[in-house]
């Protein structure tokens, strides 16, 4: 959030910290080293998971990017990396469970991946996907339908971060009507991604539209922002709402 946003925006901070252990399970992060823009070394992975454990999370479901033109990951690459991470944290004595799914980018190849099957999901066949920050994809509704008809339960990653929907809040309501679950980034509540993302995040919380909250943590500076987020009023409200599905994962 910029200087003027902070100056003219009423503070949403409280004096007490939210208890992140009540969330229980983080289902969006990038902790497998060297395969996307998250952790780059196994030491990074260990440090990040240690911090998540200290927050009180009992489990992390880490979700590397799968993007056909950029991060060409697949289940074999991700699960192999997961095994190395699990071994490293066991050696360090870090008491946190680690699983893996993926964050699928809605690109030209996603429909073919759905047809092929074997996509990495979490929980009750939930599939995390994201779209471009520049423009909404023309095939968005088509892909949502295909996911649903193939037995997947689509979860849209950080919907508050897509600026093309900021003036069309009904779009989020349409997603809910189509059975799409919405995953909020915890750091959006601090203004980390800008004032627009913070405002939309707060609106979604007010309307009980958030199904999951995720760290989307890539590196240690995200951990520091999460510490700031613990004092955000809307994080307290979301945790206390009973709407979150994280703890059941």
| Contact (CB, 8 A) for 137 and 131 | yes
Domain that includes residue 169, residue range: 3-248
* pLDDT > 70? residue 68: yes
Which pair of structure tokens corresponds to residue 242? Answer: 């009973």
pTM listed for this prediction: 0.94
Q: How far apart are CA 111 and CA 147, in angstroms?
A: 9
Give helix 75-92 / helix 42-55 axis angle, nearest 10°. Answer: 70
* pLDDT > 50? residue 71: yes
* pLDDT > 70? residue 9: no
Q: Would you place residue 69 in the very low, low, confident or very high pLDDT band (cuts 50, 70, 90)?
A: confident
* pLDDT > 80? residue 5: no
* pLDDT > 50? residue 150: yes
* pLDDT > 90? residue 17: yes
pLDDT in tens, 112-132: 999 999 999 999 999 999 999
Contacts of residue 31, Cβ cutoff 8 Å, sequence gap at least 6: 38, 39, 45, 48, 49, 60, 62, 85, 98, 217
pLDDT in tens, 200-240: 999 999 999 999 999 999 999 999 999 999 999 999 999 99
Which pair of structure tokens corresponds to residue 160? Answer: 């508050």
Question: What is the predicted pLDDT for the residue at 7?
Answer: 45
Whole-Å CA distances, 133 to 55, 162, 182, 200: 29, 5, 16, 15
| Contact (CB, 8 A) for 1 and 195 | yes
DSSP H helix total and E strand total for the chain: 9, 9
CATH of the domain at 37: 3.20.20.140
Please count the structural domains in the chain: 1
């Amino acid at each position: 959030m910029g200087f003027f946003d902070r100056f003219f925006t009423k503070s949403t901070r409280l004096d007490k910290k939210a208890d992140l252990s009540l969330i229980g399970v983080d289902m969006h992060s990038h902790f497998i080293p060297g395969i996307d823009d998250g952790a780059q070394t196994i030491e990074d992975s260990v440090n990040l998971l240690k911090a998540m454990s200290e927050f009180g999370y009992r489990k992390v479901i880490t979700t590397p990017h799968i993007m056909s033109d950029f991060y060409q990951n697949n289940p074999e690459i991700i699960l192999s990396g997961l095994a190395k991470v699990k071994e490293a944290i066991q050696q360090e004595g870090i008491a946190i469970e680690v699983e893996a799914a993926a964050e699928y980018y809605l690109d030209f190849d996603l429909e073919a991946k759905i047809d092929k099957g074997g996509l990495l999901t979490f929980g009750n066949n939930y599939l995390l996907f994201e779209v471009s920050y520049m423009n909404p994809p023309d095939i968005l509704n088509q892909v949502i339908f295909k996911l649903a008809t193939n037995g997947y339960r689509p979860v849209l990653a950080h919907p508050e971060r897509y600026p093309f929907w900021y003036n069309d809040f009904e779009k989020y309501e349409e997603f809910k009507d189509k059975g799409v679950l919405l995953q909020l980034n915890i750091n959006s509540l601090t203004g980390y991604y800008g004032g627009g993302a913070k405002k939309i995040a707060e609106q979604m919380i007010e309307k009980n539209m958030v199904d999951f909250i995720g760290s989307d943590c890539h590196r240690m500076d995200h951990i520091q922002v999460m510490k700031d987020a613990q004092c955000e009023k809307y994080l307290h409200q979301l945790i206390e709402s009973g709407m979150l599905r994280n703890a059941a994962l």
